[in-house]
Amino acid sequence: MAKGVKLSFYQKSLIYQMVVVQQLPAETVYDSLFSLDSTIISMDYLKRICKNMKDDWTEDQVLSYIVGSNNVGGRPRKLDSISINMLVELATSLKSTRLRILTSIYNEASGGEDPLSTSGVFRYLKLNKITNKRLTRISMLRDEDAIAEYLFLMAPLDPSNFISVDETSSCRGTKLQCSSGRAPSGEDAVIWEFSIKNIQFSVIAAYTPLGFIAWRIYDGTVAHDSFERFLLDDLSPIITDSDIVILDNASVHKTSTTLGVLHDVTNGGNYAFTPPYENRLAPIEHGFANMWEEVRKHEHEAMISPMKVVHDAFTKYSIIGSHGHVAKGHFNPYFRNHEEYVSQSSHRIDSNIHNWANTQNK
């Protein structure tokens, strides 16, 4: 690994972006960054760096070169409130940035005279309740009024009877996406796409607060009639009169034939569509995320028998599986909404009884 030339974190990052991401030649990079001051770095040295980044170094070696060492010795540095606020703002705005890179960005932004170590950054983030968790992708197009109305209508219903139903398919490159990031305690994060060896899989499943109760795995894409067959063949035999099916606003769920099947399967219309662009109210996405994490743990086995590995992952998070209990937490928005409704209703009843008693005593 090349040493001796002191380039800043910003310069190294630019080189990486231009060489690895944009695939620009070393000459173009040199003209863009160092042509005004050739004493900073020579063309030959830059070419060696470019070759190493593209061909020779591992990902960890490239990362180590860019961020340098964050091993700062001595007593942990004490930050003032302004520095802490800056660190927290950086961490929450750069949610998926690795801790080592975040440390380098903070040290450079704060002047670099008294650098903070990686463990120091971790310590201050933990003290300020900034934790690492699976990312939630929230659309900027979501309608807050529609979400409020939906939760108002769902509040009287017991979430223990909810069944979240959806389908998903694998996407190329999912493994390259960040699966976790930092955010204040209490916020969610979900990624549920999965693929094995670039083979596309499609899944239709039903998810309850006790875990998965039904699923079908397809090699390839799923047509709308497959969703209807799932409702009739897999969900209908196990659904009860008190169950309520939750679906998202996908067009496949709202065709005339699908709506007819839904009406029959859900005992006359016990189903609800979540507001557009609000996947946090679709608990099954959390279940899909856990399932994919389990598949990834058995990636080598999945190369040989992918269907079996996916099926086993669903079984683990099913109502009969060892981890089915984690599903209840994925329905927390509904449970909190229902508990608030019950609490308010109880308060109104107590108030009415009190008023009635006062009337009778007069």
**Mean pLDDT of all residues in 180-188:** 59
Q: What's the pLDDT band for 7 if we cut at 50, 70, 90?
A: confident
Residue 314 pLDDT greater than 90, yes or no: yes
48 & 188 share domain? no
Count of domains in the chain?
A: 3
Q: Please indicate, yes or no, if residue 349 is contained in any of the structural domains.
A: no
Q: Is the pLDDT of residue 77 over 70?
A: no
Residue that wins the pLDDT comparison between 166 and 7: 166
Rounded to 5°, the CA angle 214-226-256 comes to: 110
User: Do 152 and 287 share a structural domain?
Assistant: yes
Q: Do 178 and 282 lie in a common domain?
A: yes
Cα–Cα separations (whole angstroms), residue 272 to 42, 157, 223: 65, 11, 22
Asked whether the whole model's pTM tops 0.85, one would answer no
* CA distance linking residue 39 with residue 245, whole number of Å: 68
Residue 30 Cα distances to 11, 48, 71, angstroms: 11, 12, 31
Contacts for 16 with CB less than 8 Å, ≥ 6 apart: 53, 62, 66
Q: What are phi and psi of 179, to 5 degrees?
A: -105, -5
Is 354 inside a domain boundary?
A: no
- Find the domain containing 109 and state its range: 81-128
pLDDT of the residue at 50: 81
Same-domain pairing of 277 and 200: yes
**Same structural domain for residues 120 and 176?**
no
Asked if residue 231 has pLDDT above 70, the reply is yes
Distances in Å between the Cα of 28 and the Cα atoms of 17, 21, 34, 39, 46 are 13, 14, 10, 17, 11
347 in any annotated domain: no
Pair 179, 270 in one domain: yes
Could you tell me the two tokens for 240? 């009860």
Between 117-121, 138-142, 146-150, 226-230, the lowest mean confidence (pLDDT) is in 138-142
Would 187 be classed as within a structural domain?
A: yes
For residue 153, being part of any structural domain is answered with yes
Same domain (yes/no): 190, 330: yes
Q: Is residue 362 part of a domain?
A: no
One domain for residues 219 and 300? yes
Report pLDDT digits (tens) over 158-176. 999 999 999 877 643 343 3
In the beta sheet, which residues pair with residue 246?
A: 164, 272
What span, in angstroms and rounded, lies between the C-alpha atoms of 128 and 24?
41
Same domain, 53 and 198: no
Q: Are residues 207 and 287 in the same domain?
A: yes
